[in-house]
Amino acid sequence: MSAMTTTTAGPTRARLGEIAPIPLSRVVRVELRKMFDTRAGFWLIASIAITGLTATIATIAFAPDQDLTYYNFAKAVGYPVTVILPMVALLAITSEWSQRSGLTTFTYVPDRRRVILAKTWSSVIVAIASMLFAFAAGAVGNVAGSTIAGTSTVWDLSAGHATTIVLGNLVSLSIGTMLGMVLRSSAGGLVMYFVLVLLVPNLTSLLATSQDWFAHAQPWVDLPFAQTSLFEGMHTGAQWAHVATTVGLWIVLPGIYGLRRVIRSEVK
């Protein structure tokens, strides 16, 4: 009886060992679908299109004729994208804990790093699609606005500038990813995100105005300040150095810490 048991168990273990892990591409597709499965996720992503169209109409209706340029339309449409995308990335990660689906997810994909990578890739896909929508909506608004106003259509956004704008949005997206890994709480992550986006820039601006030492150090330690150059245009190597330093300080280092917490945290 024992020999039969040993003989049967051996091939069983061999067959189990031959099972291939779930491909990363499939995990990315699942994470993309999960973003739209809930009503909150669906309307959060849909709000990108809704606010983008609203911004286009508002620019046509209220902007002075000389401001009806492609860059201004793209900036107006892209601003809601910059604000919403980090929340999409944050909720994609924290959903495993807030919706208590982590036990199932990490059972199917035990390597949590692959899950985080898949969530990051799915967020990037949504981000790129949203930015393409912003550029397209800006182009339509530019043509429509100049036609209605009877002015020349101005295409003042170069390919290089558009690329840095995309990078700026990806930096914003990374903030949401980092906060999701560090806090693993939807409510706490959203509160901290709005503190970083709304409160901290005002405080650092006041500090730079009143303290000369911080005015010189601000480009090296203030991420929103350095990130502004990506949206307004990169002209010097110092600006790239400022972005790289602040991203490393505020996103990369906390992201490494957050990934360690995700890997080691208990899932209930």
Contacts of 49 (CB under 8 A, 6+ apart): 133
pLDDT value, residue 216: 92
Detail the DSSP E strand segments found in the chain: none
> DSSP letter at 67?
G
pLDDT value, residue 38: 76
| Residue that has been written with the tokens 């990374």 in this structure | 174
| Residue that has been written with the tokens 């896909």 in this structure | 125
55-76: string of b/e by CB count within 10 Å (b at 16+)?
A: bbeebbeebeeeebbbbbbbbb
* Type of residue numbered 214: F
> DSSP letter at 211?
-
pLDDT value, residue 115: 93
Are the C-beta atoms of residues 168 and 82 closer than 8 Å to each other? Answer: yes
3 state DSSP class of 69: strand
Residue ranges for the chain with pLDDT beneath 70: 1-18
93-123: string of b/e by CB count within 10 Å (b at 16+)?
A: bbbbbbeeebeebeeebeebebbbbbbbbbb
pLDDT, tens digit, for every residue of 211-249?
A: 999 999 999 999 999 999 999 988 899 999 999 999 999
Contacts of 248 (CB under 8 A, 6+ apart): none
| R_g of the chain, CA atoms, integer Å | 23
Contacts of 163 (CB under 8 A, 6+ apart): none
pLDDT value, residue 5: 46
Whole-model pTM over 0.75? yes
pLDDT value, residue 15: 54
Integer Cα distance of 242 and 222 in angstroms: 9
195-218: string of b/e by CB count within 10 Å (b at 16+)?
A: ebeeebbeebeeebeeeeeeeeeb
Largest interatomic CA distance in the chain: 92
